[in-house]
Homo-oligomer: A and B are copies of this chain.
Amino acid sequence: MIYITRRETFNAAHRLFRPEWDDDKNLQVFGKCSNPNWHGHNYVLYVTVKGNVDPETGFLINLKDLSKILNEHVIEKLDHKNMNLEVDFMKGRIASTENLAIGIWEQIEEPIRKLGATLHSVKVYETEKNFIEYQG
C-alpha cells in the first residue's frame, strides 16, 4: 500500500449563512464570514489516493490521469466561481470548508476508483491557518 498526493489550487467567493436566519443571527454564528456581499479565498486542495505500485510503470496511478479528474470534477467547477451560487455539488449546503471537503470527495471517489485506485483523503486549506481533512 502506497499513497500519492496531488496539490491543486482554486480561487472562489463564498458566504456562510442560513437563509432562514436574519443577518444578525448569521453574524452572531458565522462572524464576518456571513458578509452578504461575499468574500473569498485562495483554496489549496490536497487529494491523496492509495493503492499498489504497478510493476510495469512504477506508478501507483498516472498523475496526468489524476490531474485530469481533479480539473474536470473540481477545479473547473470551483475556480473563479461563487461557491454558494454556481457550484452544483454545493447547492443546499452551507459553504463551509467541511462541506466543501465532503462535496469534493463525492465528486472524485468514483472516477478515481475507475482508474484502479482508492481515494484516501481530501484536504482543503481555506487559509494558511486552518484546513479540513475528510477520509470518507
Residues in chain A within 8 A of chain B (CB atoms): 1-9, 11-14, 16, 18, 29-33, 35, 37-42, 48, 53, 56-60, 62-64, 79-82, 85-86, 93-99, 101-102, 127-135
Q: Would you call A80 and B129 a contact (CB within 8 A)?
A: no
Residue of B30, B31, B82, B102 touching A53 (CB-CB under 8 A): B102
Q: Would you call A39 and B129 a contact (CB within 8 A)?
A: no
Residue of B40, B93, B97, B132 touching A11 (CB-CB under 8 A): B40
Q: Which chain B residues border A14 with CB–CB below 8 Å? A: 40
Q: Given A13-B38, A40-B12, A79-B32, A3 and B58 touching (CB < 8 A)?
A: no
Q: Would you call A129 and B6 a contact (CB within 8 A)?
A: yes
Q: Which chain B residues border A11 with CB–CB below 8 Å? A: 39-41, 127
Q: Which chain B residues border A129 with CB–CB below 8 Å? A: 6-8
CA of A32 to CA of B86, assembled, Å:
13
Q: Would you call A133 and B3 a contact (CB within 8 A)?
A: yes
Q: Would you call A58 and B93 a contact (CB within 8 A)?
A: yes
